[in-house]
């Protein structure tokens, strides 16, 4: 493990895939991007939201080869010290993911086991309507995107968290090009994270 200043990094191999994991500390909210190399824009969003909101962030980036998607629960089982440290220190995790569901190209699915927190985050996303539609009803979220499994890292911190599944148009300004999230999406997510942080400080 290496570290410079506040940010620490670790190289870890998960199911034969080599990753660099980067952790930057912050307040009790933790932003997680497990699939930054596969789900374009999610790592960039974690970085930007952490800077804007003062949250911690943990980002997994694949070092080489064709991007490989390893499920969140299998990522959690990896021998990664920074992931363990991140989960031990975060009160609530907001895990950022990307989806490519053809039937829901504008749906932002808000899963995770903390349903109150998911609805709170959704409040910050209302400004994106009608361009994007926040969805909090688990019955309307595809089963693979719900993020409610207890071994999913989003639910393994101080309490359960929120899994945010973003369609391609909500995480890249040029589909197939630069992984720069649209400004209004970053603004709305930052609003949601601030709402969540305010709630955790009151608790």
| pLDDT at position 180 | 82
Domain housing 115:
2-202
Task: Give the rounded percent of residues in the chain with a pLDDT score beyond 70.
Answer: 94
Answer whether 0.85 is exceeded by the pTM. yes
| pLDDT at position 6 | 86
Q: What are phi and psi of 7, to 5 degrees?
A: -90, 135
The distance from CA 8 to its chain's CA centroid, rounded to whole angstroms, is: 19
Question: What is the C-alpha to C-alpha distance for residues 166 and 147, in angstroms, rounded to an integer?
Answer: 13
Please say whether the beta carbons of 165 and 98 come within 8 A: yes
Here the CATH number for the domain that contains residue 36 is 3.40.630.100
- CB count in 10 Å sphere of residue 115: 16
The conformation of residue 146, written as its DSSP 8-state character, comes to -
pLDDT (tens digit per residue) in 162-182: 999 999 999 987 655 567 889
The conformation of residue 144, written as its DSSP 8-state character, comes to G
Task: Give the rounded percent of residues in the chain with a pLDDT score beyond 90.
Answer: 85
For the chain, what is the domain count? 1
pLDDT (tens digit per residue) in 36-69: 999 999 999 999 999 999 999 999 999 998 999 9
Question: What is the C-alpha to C-alpha distance for residues 148 and 88, in angstroms, rounded to an integer?
Answer: 19
Question: In the block, which residue shows the tokens 């609530």?
Answer: 92
| Residues with Cβ within 8 Å of residue 82, at least 6 apart in sequence | 1, 8, 9, 10, 21, 22, 23, 58
């Amino acid at each position: 493990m290496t570290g410079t200043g506040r940010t620490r990094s670790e190289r870890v191999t998960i199911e034969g895939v080599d990753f660099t994991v980067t952790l930057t500390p912050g307040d009790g909210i933790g932003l997680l991007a497990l699939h930054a190399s596969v789900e374009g824009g999610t790592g960039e969003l974690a970085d930007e939201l952490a800077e804007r909101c003062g949250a911690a962030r943990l980002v997994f980036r694949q070092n080489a080869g064709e991007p490989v998607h390893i499920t969140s629960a299998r990522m959690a089982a990896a021998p990664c010290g920074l992931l363990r440290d991140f989960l031990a220190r975060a009160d609530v995790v907001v895990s950022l993911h990307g989806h490519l569901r053809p039937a829901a190209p504008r749906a932002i699915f808000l899963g995770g086991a903390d349903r109150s927190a998911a609805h709170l985050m959704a409040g910050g996303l209302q400004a994106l309507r009608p361009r994007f539609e926040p969805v909090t009803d688990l019955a309307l979220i595809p089963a693979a995107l719900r993020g409610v499994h207890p071994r999913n890292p989003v639910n393994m911190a101080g309490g359960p968290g929120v899994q945010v599944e973003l369609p391609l148009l909500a995480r890249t300004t040029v589909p197939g090009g630069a992984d720069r999230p649209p400004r209004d999406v970053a603004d709305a997510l930052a609003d949601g994270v601030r709402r969540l942080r305010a709630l955790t400080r009151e608790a």
